[in-house]
Amino acid sequence: MLLEIPRTQAEPDNPAITQEEAAAAARAIVVLFGHWGVTDEEACQILGGLSLRSYARWKKGDMGRIDRDRATRLSLLLGIHKALRYLFSDVTRAYAWVKQPNATFGGQRALDVMLGGSIFALQRVRAYLDAERGGW
Distance, CA of 121 to CA of 73 (rounded, Å): 10
Angle, helices 119-134 vs 68-87, to 10°: value is: 30
pLDDT band at 5 (very low <50, low <70, confident <90, very high): confident
For the whole model, what pTM was predicted? Answer: 0.85
At 8 the pLDDT is: 66
